[in-house]
Amino acid sequence: MNMSKGITVLFLLLLCGCKNNEEISHDSSANQNVEIAFAYPMNEVEIDGNPEDWSDDMIKHPIGVVLENEIETEEDLAAQFKVGFSKESKSIYLLLSVKDESHQVDSEKGALSDAQDQCLMYLDKYHDAKGSGVNVYCFNALYQEIDDATTNWDPSARNPNWDNISVASQRIENQTYYEIKLTFEENVQEGKVIGLDFMIYDSDTQGEEELTRVAWQKTEGKEKVPFKIGSIVLVDDKEQLGIVEGQVKWSQDSIGPPPKKVRIASTKTPSLWVREVVDSTGNYTAKLPKGSYKVTPEWNFYILDEDRFKLNPSGITVDVKPDTKVNAAPLELSIAEPLNLIKSEGLLLENPHNKYELVDAFVASYMDYYEIPGVSLGLIENGKLTYHKTYGVKNVFTQASVEKETLFEAASITKPVFGFAVCRLAERGIIDLDQPLYTYLPFEEIAYDERYKKITARHVLSHQTGFPNWRDGEMKIEFEPGTQFGYSGEGFEYLKRVIAEITGKDVVQVLEEEVLNPLNLQNFYFEKNDYLFKVVANGHFNNHANMTNLPNKAGMAWSLHTEAKSFCDFAIAVLERRGLSRKTYADMFHHHTVTDKYEEMNSEDWKSYFGLGLQIEKTPFGNTFGHGGNNGDFKCEFKIYEELQKGFVIFTNSNTGGELAYKALDQFLITGKVNFKP
């Protein structure tokens, strides 16, 4: 196994920052079918909710993937839709039918809520291969609403309205029918494709605990990232469809199962593309309109266990013929040569005259190879900021550049900042680091376990609470508090609530008074505001921009937004031991717990610990302090070598950013190539 195996342990602790208890998966439907419905020409219909205008011969597409609760019988909940289009009216028509015994629509609420029956329609009008935006239209018999889309990555999707969408419904016996008309400014004709999905909310009582949700495509968060909804493909008639069968195979000896999906795109119509599932033997089948198509891997990387491999460019062309099955040529895949840019000596130690040009070239190479859209980088030498540079784009869809004021999610790098504030409060006796936290503020959700009464602020800051990183259901204690290391964001969120309780202040005010103002820090934001919305970078999964997800309330495990130059000011303040007493700094840098980051190396030269809010390391190049962060679509790290007075701060806006931030940059700048195998 290559060196990434040894470093991987770092990811599991660094930096499982994860936004507000969750990390967005780039494709939660990796093994699920990608739903496609074909729409055929039909006569115009009056939008009144009456199903009698629709032919019984039209294909019924089931909306049957259960996302929440269970369906005991078809009478309890069953949904389906039909679809057609009219060239004359430039419209796509949909008939949605929902069968349920108990129909709940609450006229007293004055708005939709999860406690009543409703339909959510997810619409991507443009079906852009780069990942156009998705809007959510919610409706039932009484109400129509549109989800706020101001944070969408696609500017064209930020101000949706009902101007070109008509919806009407009727309740007939135990079925609710919704007729929907989508009208477009451009021509509606064969070859046009839109993204579409439905989610049905069925509330059997007025209580949310009885809510059942079903959808067409088996995905959650359909509007937050691209490619999580199905596709509607317009064709003239069924005879214009053909079938493609093909196989994905490795050109060299197989390194593992085939990739899970392929992308099949028309060579003439940009919006006509689909994703198809590849089975475990490498085979795929697609039904498509006639025409010429290119078949490629869905993504340019192959994931095996915890390793990411770059694929060499590959693709095959296939001609689809009407009412014919075509066998495509095999799509042969091969692994690209890995980057080999790290020398035996770190650049900042070698100190060539053109070192910053070499830094730029190194960062650019990793961004290109790993498809990292944007980077903010700061270098520290002789205890000072010596180089600051931004690279790339903050949104691949709009191609807006990363500027010096562009802010990134700092994820778990929030923790050292909060830890600094807690240590300042402890210096003044406002909190005792060794007093059980429950004496300040009980934690009712874990009060059933008496061990929680042993948890202190020191345990939180050094990750010894026994809490999980983030709960999955019921809150639990996984080991005796204070006895071992266990990385936990939950602990920091509990301590946040304690600090707010004992100070009587919002935690952001505490941070301003204890960290930002004393250290004169700029561009540190923990909660949503208008300025942050203007300058924040979009996160990216697999080189596709995601919806901006700004926190309504500060999270002390994950919500900091900043950039490299500004965060260098914090790192330098800690390096210079400013803002805290010598005694408190000694406590902060004490090895309170040992991590297993370098366990496989079995070397006394490499050790990893946690102090109070900081990750501390012993290396052949001296002691370091720092932290990393991982919010899924943002990866970042800062690391300072104390004796060398050198270090770096890096923020990236991509799920692949860790390849640069965690694995490569430290070796390129400081340590040189290190073999992390035992």
Q: How many domains does the chain have?
A: 3
Average pLDDT, the chain: 92
Domain boundary residue, one of 234, 269, 291: 234
Mean pLDDT of 504-509: 98
Quick one: tokens of 9?
């342990």
Residue 586: pLDDT band (50, 70, 90) is: very high
Q: Is 99 exposed, middle or buried (0-12, 13-18, 19+ CB in 10 A)?
A: middle
Which are the contacts of 280, defined by CB distance < 8 A and separation ≥ 6?
257, 258
Distance CA 242, CA 227 (A): 24
User: 630 lies in a domain?
Assistant: no
Mark whether 128 and 221 lie in a shared domain. Answer: yes
Supply angle C-alpha 400, 404, 406, rounded to 5: 55
What pLDDT is attached to residue 255?
84
Residue 2 falls within a domain, yes or no?
A: no
- In a shared domain, residues 285 and 221: no
* Cα–Cα distance, 415 to 463 (Å, whole number): 11
CA distance 36 to 515: 53
Beta bridge partners of 294: 265, 317
Give the whole-angstrom CA distance, residue 21 versus residue 149: 22
Least confident of 4-18, 133-147, 495-509: 4-18
Residue-level pLDDT at 10: 37
Angle, CA 21 vertex, CA 19 and CA 23 arms, to 5°: 55
| Best CA proximity match to 633, nearest among 441, 395, 324, 421 | 395
Tell whether 619 is covered by a domain.
no
Predicted pLDDT of residue 492: 98
From 474, 508, 542, give the residue that closes a domain.
Answer: 508
pTM given for the model: 0.92
Predicted pLDDT at 23: 32
pLDDT in tens, 27-69: 334 445 689 999 999 999 999 999 999 999 999 999 999 998 8
403 domain residue, yes or no: no
| Residue 273 pLDDT greater than 60, yes or no | yes
| CATH (domain of 63) | 2.60.40.1190
Of 508, 531, 554, which residue constitutes the final position of a domain?
A: 508
**How far is residue 465's CA from residue 486's CA, in Å, rounded to a whole number?**
7
Same domain, 180 and 165: yes
Residues 56 and 147 in one domain: yes
User: Token pair of 168, please?
Assistant: 């009407």
Same domain, 178 and 65: yes
Q: Are residues 229 and 318 in the same domain?
A: no
Is residue 113 located within the same domain as residue 184?
Answer: yes
- Per-residue pLDDT of 99-139, as tens digits, reads 988 888 877 767 777 778 999 999 999 999 999 999 999 99
Quote the domain boundaries for residue 57: 42-234
Residue 76, pLDDT > 90, answer no
- Residue 11 pLDDT more than 60? no
Is 605 among the domain residues?
no
CA distance 320 to 288: 7
